[in-house]
Structure 1
Amino acid sequence: MMNLTALDDDTITYKGQLYHLDLDYRLVLEYFSLMRDKGLTVPEKLELALKMLVTDSTSQLSLLDQDALLQLIFSTYIYTNNDQRRSELMPSKKQVFDFDQDAGLIYAAFLQQYQIDLKTDALTWQAFNAMLDGLNDDTFFRKVVNYRVMDIPKDAPDDASDDAKRQTKKYQDYIRQMKLLYSLDPLKKEGKLTDAEVGAIVAPLDMPHKMLKIKELREAGRY
């Protein structure tokens, strides 16, 4: 939990020993990548993670103590009790953004709203998360997230004018196209694409490229 009155001096005490931490947001993101690496053993992950996040030596600690120290750092600074309570109170049905896929959008949003260059400016993990939560709808990152979570608009009522029905259909197609364009891991979608999804994919293309894209999707077994 962020404390507005505390000095920016991240430390943690484990078994009477004070450890100094480096919780730059880049390192925490690297930590997440490290934990997902299936090519490393658990002891290797522990050693690398502690070297990454702790500026003091932890080589004297046993494997169990290394694991306990890393868990303490994680629950104190990275995924706190408040974070856990918030996720339990507001469970998300699906992932709405990805640090890797949306890196460019997040970078542009911080530069636009805060004039912060994430490539060069230093931010702690807590500060980075607070500012990420505070991004407004004027940033394209938030627009993309909104496309991902919004429902496809309902059809126009039967008694609506033909023009209203055409406008509604046009808007529905636009939202479908935006959802497909900015979806997370679209290649992991199981099953074949629907006619509406294919229509949204090829909508911006001219006729020759539409036919090529449809041929490509059929050869890949997607349509």
Structure 2
Amino acid sequence: MRLNDPLVTSFTFNDVEYELDMSFDNILDVFDQMSDENLRVYEKISIGLQLLLDNQELPASWQERIDLWNYIYDNFILFEEKEPITYDRKGNPMPLPKDEEDDKRHIDLEQDAEYIYASFLQAYNINLYEKQGSMHWHEFKALLNGLPSNTIMQGIIQIRAWKPSKHDTPKHIEDMKKLQAKHALHDIDREEVD
């Protein structure tokens, strides 16, 4: 996301211009369809493209539809948080230590919906139900990533990310493990289609 670029509402793919519905609630509907185990892959792609492109004419071949889906997903829906680059004294980028726990997910948009809603209301005075159809996905993601530490969602993220230290009392460790069990995430992964 760049502040000097307009929010994406259309794009060109294989010389065809498409209008794109990037409202956050529409993207969440797309995620729901992609995680529906009762649908076949081609059905997920078809429904996802219909939601995003509002029933515009799609490419004739399935491979082109798959390529179109992957292009939209990679370029407009998924954007990974980039780790800050640290430099040594000579200005060379330094490798970052890789910890498996750092890759662990601490939020689920569906499971945490009520906490996200409450946090947006608390932090920004934004009622997400009133913003359906108008708040862009990138706006939503930026606000979600920037939630202040005093919001309920950030508190739950801190619980999920907590690791015991040698200074913690046995009571504190027990309490935190109970909270982690209470707020544990279900294992649902949403991936792009190959």
Q: TM-score, normalised by structure 1?
A: 0.68
> Residue 97 of structure 1 contacts residue 145 of structure 1 at CA under 8 Å; is this kept in 2?
yes
The Cα of 1:149 is off from its aligned counterpart by 1.0
- 1:57-98, CA deviations, whole angstroms, 9 ceiling, x for partnerless residues? 124532122111111111111124xx2755xx7763422111
> Residue 24 of structure 1 contacts residue 125 of structure 1 at CA under 8 Å; is this kept in 2?
yes
Letter in 2 for 1:116: I
Distance 1:49 1:176 in 2: 38
Letter in 2 for 1:78: I
> Residue 59 of structure 2 contacts residue 65 of structure 2 at CA under 8 Å; is this kept in 1?
no
Distance 2:115 2:135 in 1: 17
The answer to whether residue 25 in structure 2 is matched with residue 13 in structure 1 is: no
Q: CA RMSD in A?
A: 2.3
Distance 1:8 1:155 in 2: 47
The answer to whether residue 42 in structure 2 is matched with residue 30 in structure 1 is: no
Instruction: Name the residue aligned to 2:53.
Output: 54
> Residue 10 of structure 2 contacts residue 18 of structure 2 at CA under 8 Å; is this kept in 1?
yes
Q: Which of the numbers 132, 139, 149 marks the counterpart of 1:137? A: 149
Distance 1:103 1:55 in 2: 25
Distance 1:134 1:184 in 2: 21
Other structure's SS at 1:64 match? helix
Instruction: Name the residue aligned to 1:104.
Output: 114
The answer to whether residue 123 in structure 2 is matched with residue 113 in structure 1 is: yes
The answer to whether residue 190 in structure 2 is matched with residue 185 in structure 1 is: no
Q: Which has the larger radius of gyration?
A: 1
Letter in 2 for 1:43: Y
The structure showing larger relative contact order (alpha-carbon pairs under 8 Å, at least 6 residues apart) is: 2
Letter in 2 for 1:42: V
- 1:182-212, CA deviations, whole angstroms, 9 ceiling, x for partnerless residues? 12239xxxxxxxxxxxxxxxxxxxxxxxxxx
Other structure's SS at 2:110 match? coil
Q: TM-score, normalised by structure 2?
A: 0.77
Other structure's SS at 1:39 match? coil
> Residue 10 of structure 1 contacts residue 23 of structure 1 at CA under 8 Å; is this kept in 2?
yes
Query: What aligned pairs does 1:1-223 form with structure 2 within 5 A after superposition?
Result: 2-55=1-54, 57-80=56-79, 83=80, 86=83, 92-121=102-131, 122-154=134-166, 168-185=169-186
Unaligned runs of 5+ in 2: 84-95, 188-194
- 1:140-183, CA deviations, whole angstroms, 9 ceiling, x for partnerless residues? 11111101111124367xxxxxxxxxxx3332232222222212
> Residue 12 of structure 1 contacts residue 19 of structure 1 at CA under 8 Å; is this kept in 2?
yes
Greater fraction helix: 1
Distance 1:151 1:20 in 2: 45
Distance 2:167 2:68 in 1: 55
Q: Call closer, same or farther: CA 1:84–1:66 in 2, change over 3 Å.
A: farther
Q: Among the aligned pairs, what percent are the same residue?
A: 28
Letter in 2 for 1:177: K
